Amino acid sequence: MAETNTGAYLKSKQRFVASGGVRFLIAEDGQGKGERPLVLISGWPQTIHVWRHMFGPLAERHHVIAVEPPALGQSEPLPAGQDSRTVGAAILALLDELGVGELDLIGHDIGTWLGFPMAHLAPERIKRMAVIDAALPGLAPPTAYALEPSRLMKVWHFYFNAVPDLPAALTEGRERIYIEQILRTRSEDFARTFTPDDVDVYVDAYARPGAMDAGFSYYRAIFKNIEDNQAFAARKLQLPILAIGGASWLGPVMEATFAGLGDKVTGASIAGSAHFVPEEQPEKLLAVIEPFLAQPTA
């Protein structure tokens, strides 16, 4: 039997789906399994490939749909922009196209930025949510974005990426330098976590014309996200939330952030991982996610 925790297996399940005039890349497996579909949402500067170690194992028990967000890989950008509320609504519309009603959700990085508004926009549909290592704009503790010596390598890109035009001009033709620097400095063991082929997948995705600038558009929207998130936070979420951080990156900051945003929040800090938890420690991540998904939602 072929191994299912590989990029090749994930790629074998991929296809494009059109929704709202935009082409999305998804991967789907495990149809008919589990209580409800499990939706995985990836972040930047990555693609659906981030789930390569977890997609197959999760599909043994769940109907899994991995969604590559607009402008983050081969999914096309939204003409209306990449603020989290707009993208979250577009992903919900995509799931309508796929015939998905109720769902559970796992988001990493910008996938967490998107999961939060999605849970507010469709509380009747999203029954559980796991969020992985992302500082939620407007709601994370101020230290999460603080530009200070101890955090410089963790936060500088938020400022750089949000500048109009210049980041795209400076990284054109230098995508590998930039993306590999992000991967190296945000993982505990770069060589163990990312093979040269893995790096190539990400570099190739963002080396396409316009792709770097499209990805940066998520950061240019951060001030709109702050405004929207603070408005959403006036109402606490009622669904179970598992807030997960890499122990050497955001760690307990994830639970501290979401504790005030929902009534059923638990946390986990994954040892041996920095930011890229699904790739650095997939087995440990599965070990906390599977029991969470097995718990009742009521």
Residue-by-residue pLDDT tens, the chain, 298 positions: 358 899 999 999 999 999 999 999 999 999 999 999 999 999 999 999 999 999 999 999 999 999 999 999 999 999 999 999 999 999 999 999 999 999 999 999 999 999 999 999 999 999 999 999 999 999 999 888 888 888 888 899 999 999 999 999 999 999 999 999 999 999 999 999 999 999 999 999 999 999 999 999 999 999 999 999 999 999 999 999 999 999 999 999 999 999 999 999 999 999 999 999 999 999 999 999 999 999 988 6
- Name beta bridge partners: 64: 29, 38
- Cα–Cα distance measured from residue 172 to residue 125, given in angstroms and rounded to the nearest whole number: 40
Query: Both ends of the chain: CA-CA distance in Å?
Result: 38
- Cα–Cα distance measured from residue 217 to residue 215, given in angstroms and rounded to the nearest whole number: 5
Q: Which two tokens stand for residue 3?
A: 């191994």
Spatial CB neighbours of 149, under 8 Å, sequence gap ≥ 6 = none
Q: Which two tokens stand for residue 189?
A: 């063991």
Model pLDDT, residue 28: 98
- Among residues 255, 271, 249, the alpha carbon closest in space to that of 153 is found at 249
Predicted TM-score (pTM) of the model is 0.97
Domain boundaries, the chain: 7-142+226-294
Helix ranges, 163-281 (H): 166-171, 175-185, 190-193, 196-206, 211-220, 222-232, 253-259, 277-280
Model pLDDT, residue 143: 83
Model pLDDT, residue 200: 98
Superfamily of domain 7-142+226-294: Alpha/Beta hydrolase fold, catalytic domain (3.40.50.1820)
Q: How many CB atoms lie within 10 A of CB 156?
A: 12
At residue 278's C-alpha, the angle toward residues 128 and 223, to 5°, is 70
- Cα–Cα distance measured from residue 194 to residue 267, given in angstroms and rounded to the nearest whole number: 26
